[in-house]
Amino acid sequence: MPQLVKRAYKYRFYPTPEQADELVRTFGCVRLVYNKALEERTRAYTLEGKRVTYVETSAALTRWKKTPELAFLGEVSSVPLQQALRHLQAAFANFFSRRAKYPIFKSRKKSRGSAEYTRSAFRWRNGRLTLAKMDAPLDIVWSRPLPENSEPSTVTVSRDAAGRWFVSILVEEKISPLPLAGRSVGVDAGIAALATLSTGEKIANPKFERADRRKLARAQRALARKDKGSNSRAKARLRVARVYARVADRRRDFLHKVTTRLVRENQVIAVEDLVVRNMVKNRSLAGAIADAAWRDLRMMLEYKAAWYGRTLVAVDRWFPSSKLCSACGALQESMPLNVREWTCGCGAVHDRDVNAAKNVLAAGLAES
């Protein structure tokens, strides 16, 4: 049975100078409202022990618009400002539920500029999107079509550090499960090989950041030589951001291809339940782990498996997959990282990563 899911389609667009000015003003107002509401809620929580609700912050926003110093908030669409308050409410809900840390202020330099528009703040006609406070539709590059007869429910506009503009369109889409596959696979994430499969296949790690390291270093040296606050420094910072954007785009495209293939070919996919945020604390491996993007790999497998009727099993991170013989089940006392191939007492010769993937698959099938 097809299932109805919410899916976001992201496209690049090219705003006119007037549209860009309007969006930049909106981004600034969104950031200001978020920070001011966070400040008010923090003060109330710290000094009075009071939890401020979304309704109270929304009423405060109305008061702010009536003051002379914040009257400019009324010049942009009110919907992105209200959405900023809803996002802050969600951040506090996650904090009080101990799912996240305390919300932090949005920095003008470090935070990504974005604004979220709900259905009342945009017009969608004949495949053309027009945002509130704008007279003309956005010039969107339709790199892939939206689902037929789909109606956007939410639109998020953003600009990345490289100066590129994107619009993310959220729609409801019917996705049919894939035909049953007669195969299952265990996946062992690594650095030399991005993923080693229980079939014995090793998916090479492209190491995109390392490939562009020389170009990135040259751009960063050029940035360091520029005077702070100068136009040349702004241009040099943009060049650095473009290198990072190229690395991120290539990595994301590669991970999408790998995860889509694994989901299409296998009914059950078993992975290790790695805690990446703890692993990157290792200074020696942090850069390599971040470049491999294990967290993104896991996230893509999760939602694609849910969409297409596959089963993703996360095996306990303390499961001794590397030290266990996949042939006889004997457990080795130790297995240093420099040991890449070993022989069990039963005579089985193991590649460390392939053996771990086989054990992960066996544990995953036992759990599922």
Per DSSP, the three-state class of 215 is helix
Task: Retrieve residue 150's tokens.
Answer: 């789909």
d(CA 156, CA 136): 17
48 φ, ψ (degrees, to nearest 5): -115, -10
Rg of the chain in Å (alpha carbons): 25
Q: Which residues contact 28 (CB under 8 A, 6 or more apart)?
A: 108
Query: Is 353 in the active site?
Result: yes
Which pair of structure tokens corresponds to residue 146?
């939206």
CA distance 42 to 47: 8
Q: How far is CA 235 from CA 159, 223, 226, 238, in A?
A: 16, 9, 10, 5
Listed in sequence order, the DSSP H helices in 131-225 are: 208-211, 213-225
Options 188, 333, 341, 351, the catalytic residue: 188
Residue whose C-alpha is closest to residue 76's, from 139, 31, 12 = 31
Q: Taking a C-beta distance cutoff of 8 angstroms, is the pair 321, 272 a contact?
A: yes
Q: Select which of 22, 116, 291, 353 is catalytic.
A: 353
How deeply is 178 buried, as exposed, middle or buried, from its count of CB atoms within 10 A (0-12, 13-18, 19+)?
A: middle
Tokens representing 74? 């009324």
Backbone torsion region of residue 85, taken as left when φ is above 0, otherwise alpha when ψ lies between -120 and 50, otherwise beta: alpha
Catalytic residue among 22, 116, 272, 291: 272
Could you give the 3-state DSSP secondary structure of residue 34?
helix
Residues in the chain: 368
The token duo for 288 is 């390599």
- Catalytically active residues, by annotation: 188, 272, 353
